[in-house]
Amino acid sequence: MAEEGRIIPDDRIDLRGVLCPINFVKTKLKLEMMDSGQILEVILDDGEPIRSVPRSVKEEGHKIIKVENVENAYRLLIKKA
């Protein structure tokens, strides 16, 4: 799953330009299609998306593994519960 300390996601979704709460809904639907323990990479805009989506994901019981700033957006790694 990881090579040289870098986590390789099982799936990814790019939600730049997608408004709240649609970005969370799309993240939730993608997670529902994945198996427990798999990693989802989500790309989000700054502002409300990066404040709201991680909080909502945690409320659903999933784990935020990493958040990093990349090219005027945020890369979020979520481990499915």
User: Catalytic amino acids?
Assistant: 20
Strands (E), 1-81: 2-3, 6-7, 11-14, 39-44, 63-70, 73-79
CB atoms within 10 A of CB 70: 8
